[in-house]
Structure 1
């Protein structure tokens, strides 16, 4: 008679003993949320750093070129229609928006051909040179001021320190072409120029000085108007009546809200990427996540760049 022998049963687990990790196990479940948060934070940091470097180099220059083309088309249309601004307000009497095109600056000695926007905040100067809003427009009586970046976003004023005395350049506005002759340049500590005749015109071009992307001072190039002075309509802002963000080497504190919102969106996208990696798989998740993280990283870094000095 055959005897059936059953296999020995596995011993019952002792109380308090841990079950070994099985397939797909690894870290205890309680540790996974912490790892996901750490991974998301690293993704955010990497996206912001890469976006920051791109904004100040390739992407920033591409943005500058695109914005310049759009502004040039708009200014050219306004000049043809006779609606280009000649003061601080447009043809409908509304204050000019920040970044609105107001002039076309041509400096043959430096190969500069740039549309000038209204205002000198860091955001405006990402698109090109900016006109300081508490000064007259070029071609009018008084001292007009135009600021431009030294290194980032097209670096339109990168060679301003090489502009020689007696060099000539022009600025086209809604009142026609204004011609200027350079009279000198100055840095911190240099003597101020002789006070300008209020009935004559002068223009000061301003940019930063110092090593790449680390501005340490301000360079001012003065020029006198050699063409006829144009009428000056009343301006809404008197000299000195501008916000701190429009002064030389100042950042735009109003960008903090944008930085906060873009950072939150980037962190949420990184968490979703970590979750998708567990559900879909490694490659599937990151093929979808990388473009989103890159776009949000660029947007976040662009907002952070607005906090930096406007002449950088």
Structure 2
């Protein structure tokens, strides 16, 4: 007799998993035309404010760095020219170094004076007015300097007092002037001395409306003045704006806009971090050029 075969009990069937709840997509509320215009306007205003604040930052920080860099380079160039006896004694190209000036009373030491008094010339340091004598030569030497931006070499000019000394070095030697008279835009300096120096800057560390003039007489004999200097141009005058920079400003602005748009388009197809890292130096350089040309449109003594 065979043993009965016991059947293995079967486990109860698992209950079917509940079906996932259907995902109901809620439509985003449509942005009204008025709100869209508001957001676009707010974005444009924010961008404009950022550009303006960047320009202010450039004027009062980066412009000083730019001027110091040029001064350092120009000082080495001029000292080399003095050593080789090839420094200019007459007319010189715009922006070239023509003298060194020291005014201890206002903390100015071994400052390079460049040729020309346009806004661009004065971005490099104090500028010699092209139609006047060089310091130390017979006649009146006129030097302009900024009072707020690009190193602000003449910011403390109004603190000079009668008797303060001004030292100048040119290709013809070293000379000393003594401050003896003051003036301004409405009251020009009147001094019968034939050989003298006139320093000119703006009357305010904000946007200047007039000028401050400091007159000093040459101590000792003057050197020969070769003459033959060119006439001034409108941009050489005190408080003049270099309107010729407007066209250049427009070109640099277009280049900046093109770089920004190009970077945004590339970011849609390439890795954004790589595009931004590549574009940042280009945009920064173009923005610097835009700000520099915009600064040339301000009064040259600012």
Q: Shorter chain as normaliser: what TM range?
A: 0.7 to 0.9
Tell me how far apart the structure 2 counterparts of residues 289 and 307 of structure 1 sit (CA, whole Å): 28
Matched residue count: 268
SS at match of 1:116: strand
The equivalent of 1:58 in structure 2 is: 61
The equivalent of 2:218 in structure 1 is: 225
C-alpha change, 1:133 and 1:159, in structure 2 (3 Å) is same
The Cα shift of 1:281 comes to 5.8
> What's the Cα RMSD here?
2.7
1:1-312 alignment runs, 5 A limit: 45=48, 48-88=51-91, 96-113=92-109, 114-190=111-187, 192-197=189-194, 201-210=195-204, 212-237=205-230, 241-280=231-270, 283-312=273-302
The Cα shift of 1:254 comes to 1.6
TM-score (structure 2 length as normaliser): 0.81
The Cα shift of 1:39 comes to 11
Tell me how far apart the structure 1 counterparts of residues 140 and 212 of structure 2 sit (CA, whole Å): 16
The more displaced of 135-144 and 284-293 is 284-293
Tell me how far apart the structure 1 counterparts of residues 158 and 266 of structure 2 sit (CA, whole Å): 53
Tell me how far apart the structure 1 counterparts of residues 103 and 301 of structure 2 sit (CA, whole Å): 19
Tell me how far apart the structure 1 counterparts of residues 227 and 298 of structure 2 sit (CA, whole Å): 32
Q: Write the deviation string for residues 138-176 of structure 1: whole angstroms up to 9, x where unpaired.
A: 111111100000010111001100011111111100000
C-alpha change, 1:83 and 1:40, in structure 2 (3 Å) is farther
Tell me how far apart the structure 1 counterparts of residues 107 and 161 of structure 2 sit (CA, whole Å): 14
Q: Write the deviation string for residues 10-56 of structure 1: whole angstroms up to 9, x where unpaired.
A: xxxxxxxxxx999xxx99xxxxxx9xx99997897467435422321
The Cα shift of 1:282 comes to 5.2
Tell me how far apart the structure 1 counterparts of residues 27 and 294 of structure 2 sit (CA, whole Å): 44
Contact 2:189 2:213 in 1 (8 A): no
TM-score (structure 1 length as normaliser): 0.78
Larger Rg over CA atoms: 2
Tell me how far apart the structure 1 counterparts of residues 49 and 272 of structure 2 sit (CA, whole Å): 18
Query: Larger relative contact order (C-alpha < 8 A, sep ≥ 6)?
Result: 1
Runs (5+) with no aligned partner, structure 1? 1-19, 28-33, 89-95
Contact 1:129 1:148 in 2 (8 A): yes
The Cα shift of 1:195 comes to 3.9
The Cα shift of 1:106 comes to 0.5
SS at match of 2:284: helix
Runs (5+) with no aligned partner, structure 2? 1-25, 32-36
C-alpha change, 1:40 and 1:257, in structure 2 (3 Å) is farther
Contact 1:50 1:297 in 2 (8 A): no
SS at match of 1:279: coil
